[in-house]
Chains A and B, each alone.
Chain A
Amino acid sequence: MTMPGGNLDRDRLRDHHRLMWRIRAFEEQALKGLDDKLVLGAIHPSIGQEAVAAGVTANLGPSDILLSTHRGHGHTLGKGADSGAMMRELLGREGGNCGGKGGSMHIADFSVGMLGANGVVAANIVIAAGAAHAIKLKREPHLVCCIFGDGAINRGPFLEGLNWAAVFQLPVLFVCEDNGFAATTRTRTMTAGGGASARARALGIPAVEVDGNDVLAVDAATAELTAAIRAGGGPRFLHARTYRLTGHTGADPAAYRPADELAARRRDEPIGRAAELLAGAGVPAEALAADQDDAVLEMHAAYAAARAAPFPPAATAFTDVQDAGDPRREAF
């Protein structure tokens, strides 16, 4: 993003840099938590993909709605969720966003308009269409942003949800965060035709492709697309190509990738690219290092607080199930 006169918007890029470091530090801390056996279930890191989270969520207001995936820590932080509550959720503790009932794959923070990660690939797409449908029915000015991976485009809800949003001209930004892998399989080996953008365009949804490791490009493309949606233009589609530097889960060594490919992609990772631009624009190295240090300290503190927090009471197994009926064994 450039300012009039061709100058880089340093402050905005610096914000991206900080957020990307917070996401990276959160996930590196979470992976340590996995080693410590304190993060209990599967986690799906987005290390290397932070520019998509930062560039997209920078264009969402507090009343806009976000739906994410199983790989959703970055999006959730970007929407404004508290890292302490998120870390507690990963450790299954009281004070987690979902009271320890959801874990990493079901992180949600409705107070900041984040309507949930989702454990089922592509499931969020039709839910996002419905959230946008409600916004339209209520004549509200907000939009819905739905982020999913490249694997999601081969599931039925991708077609059904995009078609729905186009038919009803709903205010949704669909973002395909394309890291090249559907779990542990290269997506292109299992995907026919022209891929995500081509499929969106086939349904009449304007689509933009962007280098997903270039946070300024993601930001600029999202700004343009969200402006069109806010102007009443109906749904838009962003296809951001990035690369997952880790395995599918914290437990996946991802040995299916050639070492030279990984090395090349490491050189292209988004935080380093942003830092280079900032340094070129005169931001001192100490300031950039401070962004990293602050993020690491924040997540370290979040982790320490989370491990000190108690597990939720066992009786919460029976709360928030439903209003009707008694779920307890003794009620049978």
Chain B
Amino acid sequence: MAIASYLEAGRDALAEEMRRDPLVWVVGEDLGRGGVFGQYKGLVEEFGPERISDAPISEAAILGAAVGAAMMGTRPVVEMRFSDFALCAMDELVNQAAKARFMFGGQTRVPLVVREPIGMWRSSAAQHSQSLEAWYAHVPGLVVACPATPADTKGLLKTAIRSDDPVVFMEHKNLWGLSGEVPDGEHLVPFGEARIVRPGRDLTIVTWSAQVHVAAAAAESLAAEGIESELIDLRTLWPWDKERVLASVAKTGRLLVAHEAVAVAGFGAEIAATVAERLGPALKAPVRRLGAPRTLIAYAPPVEDTVRVTAAAIAEAARSMTGRG
């Protein structure tokens, strides 16, 4: 067990998989210089410029080429720089990568990983800050992974690279520097297995990605007030761990979903609906969702901060749900 940052954990996972499988290769803009955030630093020196390949600013070609290369038996990992830019490759991901296996009747697989950094950090405004994970959860054929910790970044990225499904791998930009313990070597986190961040009896809080850390801060302050929340980090949105969420809500009787993405038609709605359908009559309080308002992300800090789901907002919702508001 070593201490590594979220960024280093991803880099180490990739290097381990590239050593293990010569068919794994990476392509994206500026990778030879280590990538825009330094996630690829040192890799071109070890693996050479064919396997850590620079690319023109051609998102459609980067992702489309990955589809072709994956159908030909290699395992490409592609870097989209920002999830916002991956929208330029939507046909390649949604109409091609996600559909090739099914529409060709199982003749092929598209084992690619598309890394799409998501989320707000500071003053990156409307085209460099979005969290669009729900879009991909809606598309049959895709896996959606949203790691919150260095250990999960490593474990999920290794699983993603070994997966025969196309995987949208969404790292949160605000977490690059986050440090944590990371298991050495063969550490694989399966898709569809949520993590109980802290156990609790009074309500269940479901979240993922950077919002896990915001919710953890809220859970801590709630605990000081005597409200014990069970915090679940979903880790992957498709597949998502319904069983663990349902078991938790069956125990606590209350569900609060919190995510950074826009609340309207966000993945929280899917979780809320599932819990309401399955456990409705047994709930002690109506399901609650917290997400961004349906507006855009601004540049100026006070405006930007207005759309964040804060620890205070989560705590307030939890108090009201437990009758202690």
Task: Name the distance in Å between A125's Cβ and chain B's nearest Cβ.
Answer: 8
Contact of A134 among B63, B73, B141 (CB under 8 A): B73
Cβ of A74 < 8 Å from any Cβ of B? no
Q: Which of B89-97, B248-256, B280-288 contacts A (4 or more CB under 8 A)?
A: B89-97
Nearest CB in chain A to that of B191: its residue: A324
Contact of B64 among A96, A98, A106, A160 (CB under 8 A): A160
Contact: B68 with A128, CB < 8 Å? Answer: yes
Task: Name the distance in Å between A169's Cβ and chain B's nearest Cβ.
Answer: 12
Cβ of A130 < 8 Å from any Cβ of B? yes
Task: Name the distance in Å between B287's Cβ and chain A's nearest Cβ.
Answer: 16
Task: Name the distance in Å between B235's Cβ and chain A's nearest Cβ.
Answer: 12
Cβ of A127 < 8 Å from any Cβ of B? yes
Task: Name the distance in Å between B236's Cβ and chain A's nearest Cβ.
Answer: 8
Contact of A325 among B25, B68, B103, B239 (CB under 8 A): B239
Tell me the complex Cα distance, A252–B152, Å: 54
Contact: A164 with B91, CB < 8 Å? Answer: no
- CB within 8 Å of A: which of B46-62? 50-51, 55-56, 58, 60-61
Q: In the complex, which range does the number of interface residues on chain A fall in? A: 35 or more
Contact: B65 with A322, CB < 8 Å? Answer: no
Contact of A322 among B70, B71, B141, B277 (CB under 8 A): B141
Q: Which of B104-112, B173-181, B207-215, B316-324 contacts A (4 or more CB under 8 A)?
A: B104-112
Chain B residues positioned under 8 Å from A323 (CB to CB): 163-165
Contact of B66 among A130, A144, A160, A325 (CB under 8 A): A130
Q: Which of A115-123, A205-213, A216-224 contacts B (4 or more CB under 8 A)?
A: A115-123
Contact of B91 among A106, A123, A135 (CB under 8 A): A123
Tell me the complex Cα distance, A130–B65, Å: 3
Contact: B106 with A320, CB < 8 Å? Answer: yes
Task: Name the distance in Å between B147's Cβ and chain A's nearest Cβ.
Answer: 15
Tell me the complex Cα distance, A262–B14, Å: 58
Contact: A129 with B104, CB < 8 Å? Answer: no
Contact: A156 with B60, CB < 8 Å? Answer: yes
* Interface 0/1 of B16-28, CB less than 8 Å to A: 0000000001000
Given A137-B69, A321-B140, A324-B239, the answer on whether A123 and B64 have CB atoms closer than 8 Å is yes
Contact: A133 with B68, CB < 8 Å? Answer: yes
Contact: A322 with B101, CB < 8 Å? Answer: yes
- CB within 8 Å of A: which of B1-40? 25
* Interface 0/1 of B149-190, CB less than 8 Å to A: 000000000000001111000000000000000000000000
Chain B residues positioned under 8 Å from A110 (CB to CB): 104, 107-108
Contact: B25 with A137, CB < 8 Å? Answer: yes
Q: In the complex, which range does the number of interface residues on chain B fall in? A: 35 or more
Chain B residues positioned under 8 Å from A130 (CB to CB): 64-72, 76
Chain B residues positioned under 8 Å from A100 (CB to CB): 105
Task: Name the distance in Å between A41's Cβ and chain B's nearest Cβ.
Answer: 12
Contact: B100 with A116, CB < 8 Å? Answer: yes
Cβ of A7 < 8 Å from any Cβ of B? no
Chain B residues positioned under 8 Å from A189 (CB to CB): none
Given A132-B68, A137-B50, A325-B238, the answer on whether A120 and B95 have CB atoms closer than 8 Å is yes
- CB within 8 Å of A: which of B254-311? 274, 277
Contact: A327 with B140, CB < 8 Å? Answer: yes
Given A134-B68, A164-B56, A324-B191, the answer on whether A96 and B141 have CB atoms closer than 8 Å is no
Interface on A for B, CB 8 Å cutoff?
Answer: 65, 67, 96-102, 106, 108-111, 115-116, 118-120, 123, 125-135, 137-138, 144, 156-157, 160-161, 163-164, 167, 319-327, 332
A-B interface, 10 closest residue pairs, ranked by CB to CB distance from nearest: A126-B64, A130-B68, A130-B65, A325-B239, A98-B105, A99-B105, A134-B72, A160-B61, A131-B68, A320-B106
List 5 additional A-B contacts (Cβ < 8 Å) besides A97-B105, A137-B25. Answer: A102-B105, A115-B68, A120-B96, A126-B92, A322-B142
